[in-house]
Amino acid sequence: MKKLNIALVGAGFMGKAHVIGYSNMPKLFWPAPAMPVLKTVCDIVPEIASEAKERFGFEKCCTDWHDVVNDPEIDVVSICTPNNKHAEIAIAALKAGKHVLCEKPIASTLEDAKAMAEAAAETADKGIISMNAYQYRRVPAVDLAKKFIDEGLIGDILNIRCTYLQSWSADPNSPLSWRFQKSIAGAGTLGDIASHVIDIAQYLGGDIDQVVGMMKTYIKERPVQEGGVDLLGTVKIKENAVKKAVDVDDEDSFLVKFKNGAVGSIEATRNAWGRNNFITFEVHGTMGSLTFNYEKLNELNVCLANDPDDRRGFKTIYTGPASPHGDVTWNIPGMNIGYGELKAIEMYEFIKAVAEGYQPTTNFQVGYRVERVCDAVKESSEKGTWVQVKD
């Protein structure tokens, strides 16, 4: 079986998720499209790099990403750094002939996102694969919703309502990590989590054409943490830590019009006490409705208009072997999958695309389009008007 040598750049929260995905993919999907080999882990912090080598089982570690991009042994570069580093590393890696899986959002600025999409388009001609890590569209229940929509089960789509609600930054004393600094993150909630549901909305409903919305920052300063790793608000801060300004959004709400005539809404916040990873959608069609909540990610709810009046209502389908990516979902639907299996599905899609030589559904062109929707939301929030998403 073909082997692919993997280099991981950035060994924080998402670095671990990528390793779990690569390691478990062949155990769940067999025969695997190719065998990922954990070759080199790179982190700018030497202790994180050497710990990751030992913990995750990489053969080598380093602290300068140029070393993996210039290493002829490396086939694939997985980018898990903060957002402002994505473009530089991804473009260099693509130009060096490496396949690239880059975390989302694609970049911290629209200009960088465009440059990445252009580099990916140029290198695609030479068989180089690019992918952004919009993994939530690959949840079997979400893919099942897409299948039902494509089959016409719920008729023409009228409305798609999405939320992504979390609570981890609701505490004003949670640290000012890189996620709250525009120069590193690019945006706050918008790029961090609204981008995921923009991707899901466009996956299910086609391209978003126009948006009108608002963005808000509730917590205007936070205590500065030491060190660059974020770990989603769980890093301990000193008692007398100095506070600095937050210059990104906490909450975003916007209405959308899809190119196909459907409408919808998207809301995202990291300040919703009691909500953890509350990714939801409702899709209302002329012949039925679908609903999903990631906190119950193994379930898709379906209501069909043609059911008799006395028994019309939502039924719950538990995803399992009969669902998309059924290989990963254990033998009995109620056995359930979680985030680890989801990252294995993502690595399966990526490695399969690399092995078979096609661009996956979340390639850099798709990531760049999500970024253009985000950019239109920012412009709309400033102007208070509907804004056209740039094609």
Ligand X SMILES: NC(=O)c1ccc[n+]([C@@H]2O[C@H](COP(=O)([O-])OP(=O)(O)OC[C@H]3O[C@@H](n4cnc5c(N)ncnc54)[C@H](O)[C@@H]3O)[C@@H](O)[C@H]2O)c1
Please report whether residue 65 would count as binding ligand X according to CB under 6 A.
Answer: yes
Chosen residue from 21, 33, 36, 82 binding ligand X by CB under 6 A: 82
Report the alpha-carbon distance of residue 107 to residue 84 in Å, rounded.
Answer: 6
Report the alpha-carbon distance of residue 92 to residue 113 in Å, rounded.
Answer: 14
Chosen residue from 7, 32, 38, 48 binding ligand X by CB under 6 A: 48
DSSP character at residue 125: T
Per the document, the length of the chain is 391
Please report whether residue 14 would count as binding ligand X according to CB under 6 A.
Answer: yes
Tokens 């963005």, located at residue: 215
Q: How far is the CB of 355 from ligand X (least distance, A)?
A: 22
Q: How far is the CB of 82 from ligand X (least distance, A)?
A: 5
- Of the two residues 52 and 387, which places its CB atom closer to ligand X in the complex? 52
Query: In this structure, what are the phi and psi dihedrals at residue 105, rounded to the nearest 5 degrees?
Result: -65, 160
Q: Which span (4-12, 20-28, 30-38, 320-328) binds ligand X, by CB under 6 A? A: 4-12
Q: How far is the CB of 178 from ligand X (least distance, A)?
A: 6
Q: Name the E strands within 166-297.
A: 208-216, 221-223, 243-245, 251-258, 263-269, 278-285, 288-293
Q: Which span (77-85, 137-145, 162-170, 211-219) binds ligand X, by CB under 6 A? A: 77-85
- Of the two residues 184 and 389, which places its CB atom closer to ligand X in the complex? 184
Q: How far is the CB of 110 from ligand X (least distance, A)?
A: 16
Nearest CA among 217, 232, 220, 252 for reference residue 175:
232
- Of the two residues 195 and 253, which places its CB atom closer to ligand X in the complex? 195
Helix, strand, coil % in the chain, rounded to nearest 5:
40, 25, 35
Please report whether residue 135 would count as binding ligand X according to CB under 6 A.
Answer: yes
Q: Torsion-angle region of residue 111: left (phi > 0), alpha (psi -120 to 50) or beta?
A: alpha
- Of the two residues 61 and 302, which places its CB atom closer to ligand X in the complex? 61
Query: In this structure, what are the phi and psi dihedrals at residue 216, rounded to the nearest 5 degrees?
Result: -140, 140
Please report whether residue 103 would count as binding ligand X according to CB under 6 A.
Answer: yes
Chosen residue from 43, 209, 251, 341 binding ligand X by CB under 6 A: 43
Strand pairing category for 130-132 and 99-102? parallel
Please report whether residue 386 would count as binding ligand X according to CB under 6 A.
Answer: no
In which element (H, E) is residue 82 found? Answer: none
Chosen residue from 37, 45, 241, 255 binding ligand X by CB under 6 A: 45
Which residue type does 258 have?
F
Residue 214 and residue 381 in contact, taking contact as beta carbons nearer than 8 Å: yes
Chosen residue from 5, 6, 8, 12 binding ligand X by CB under 6 A: 12
Per CB under 6 A, residues contacting ligand X are 9-15, 42-45, 48, 65, 80-83, 85, 103-104, 133, 135, 192, 228-231
